[in-house]
């Protein structure tokens, strides 16, 4: 039985996305926690690939910023420049699809999907147990997937108490009955946990297992295209270091 892939924070990094999809092989479906574009030089190509997966997908702050749906004064200067570049580069059909994504994806018996958090799907960073604990009070689903921090992380909630679960490449976590989880799936296209490799997850609903994977990709290809396009230097160099 194949699983369900979960990915996010692709950020227009096509070589990273292609490496993840090749590594994952054929799965039963895909979920995407947003930020398909912004920062990277291949926004249209990444949108095409995600649409081709028929993924259930939510929007992220960079998707909104790159389509004129969010005020760019909320972004730092490099993110803002990249959003402006992306906005100019987006093809009409890709822009229309990106603009149509919801902030929260929720349906009975399915994992909840948000970009940042349940409390604030667009902007909140869930990095601490206390922030996770507050968010667990706001939903009932057994599993919530999010992104936005670019750092893979899991919080578990049982008996009214939240705790952090250590995440590493190759983690295969047994999801316990009676425990709820918020799982940050890390970033495909711009990891920030000092590991330059692309990150994604696979959920096996019947076995109740969640796996984390890291995948090497030719980040030099992304970097050279970013240079050609005149994107900010700090956004280019960080890809080699995962920060
Ligand atoms: Zn992001």
Q: Is the pLDDT of residue 1 over 80?
A: no
Ligand 1 centroid to residue 204 C-alpha, Å: 25
Tokens standing for 19? Answer: 């490496």
Q: Where are the beta strands (DSSP E) in 46-107?
A: 56-57, 104-105
Ligand 1 centroid to residue 148 C-alpha, Å: 5
Ligand 1 centroid to residue 206 C-alpha, Å: 30
Ligand 1 centroid to residue 116 C-alpha, Å: 9
Per the prediction, the chain carries an average pLDDT of: 97
Mean pLDDT, range 216-240, rounded to an integer: 98
Distance CA 118, CA 89 (A): 31
Ligand 1 centroid to residue 139 C-alpha, Å: 23
Q: Where are the beta strands (DSSP E) in 33-97?
A: 56-57
Going from the C-alpha of 176 to that of each of 65, 144, 180, the distances in angstroms are: 38, 14, 8
Ligand 1 centroid to residue 159 C-alpha, Å: 32
* Domain count within the chain: 1
Q: Domain of 60: which CATH number?
A: 3.60.21.10
pLDDT, tens only, 74-83: 899 999 999 9
Question: What pLDDT is attached to residue 87?
Answer: 97
Question: What pLDDT is attached to residue 2?
Answer: 85
Residues, the chain: 243
Predicted confidence band of residue 141 (pLDDT cuts 50, 70, 90): very high
Going from the C-alpha of 65 to that of each of 16, 84, 126, 145, the distances in angstroms are: 22, 8, 20, 22
Mean pLDDT, range 159-186, rounded to an integer: 97
Question: What pLDDT is attached to residue 68?
Answer: 93
CB 34 within 8 A of CB 7: no
Ligand 1 centroid to residue 1 C-alpha, Å: 31
Q: Is the pLDDT of residue 106 over 90?
A: yes
Ligand 1 centroid to residue 228 C-alpha, Å: 22
Q: Is the pLDDT of residue 176 over 80?
A: yes
Which residue range(s) make up the domain with 125? 4-240
CB 42 within 8 A of CB 14: yes
Ligand 1 centroid to residue 62 C-alpha, Å: 7
Question: What pLDDT is attached to residue 109?
Answer: 87
Ligand 1 centroid to residue 94 C-alpha, Å: 18
Mean pLDDT, range 131-148, rounded to an integer: 97
């Amino acid at each position: 039985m194949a699983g369900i892939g979960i990915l996010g924070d692709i950020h227009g990094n096509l070589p990273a996305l292609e490496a993840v999809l090749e590594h994952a092989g054929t799965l039963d479906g895909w979920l995407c926690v947003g930020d398909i574009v912004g920062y990277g030089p291949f926004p249209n190509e990444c949108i095409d690939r995600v649409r081709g997966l028929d993924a259930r997908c939510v929007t992220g702050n960079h998707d909104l910023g790159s389509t004129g749906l969010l005020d760019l004064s909320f972004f730092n200067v490099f993110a803002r420049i990249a959003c402006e570049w992306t906005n100019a580069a987006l093809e009409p059909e890709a822009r229309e699809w990106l603009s149509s994504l919801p902030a929260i994806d929720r349906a009975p018996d399915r994992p909840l999907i948000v970009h940042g958090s349940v409390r604030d799907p667009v902007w909140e960073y869930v990095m601490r147990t206390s922030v996770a604990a507050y968010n667990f009070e706001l939903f009932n689903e057994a599993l919530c997937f999010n992104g936005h921090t670019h750092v893979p992380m899991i919080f578990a909630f049982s008996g009214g108490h939240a705790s952090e679960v250590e995440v590493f490449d190759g983690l295969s976590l047994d999801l316990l009955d009676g425990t709820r989880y918020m799982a940050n799936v890390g970033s495909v296209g711009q990891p920030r946990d000092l590991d330059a490799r692309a990150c994604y997850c696979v959920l096996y609903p019947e076995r109740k297992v969640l796996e984390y994977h890291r995948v090497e990709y030719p980040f030099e290809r992304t970097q050279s295209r970013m240079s050609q396009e005149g994107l900010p230097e700090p956004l280019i160099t960080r890809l080699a270091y995962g920060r």
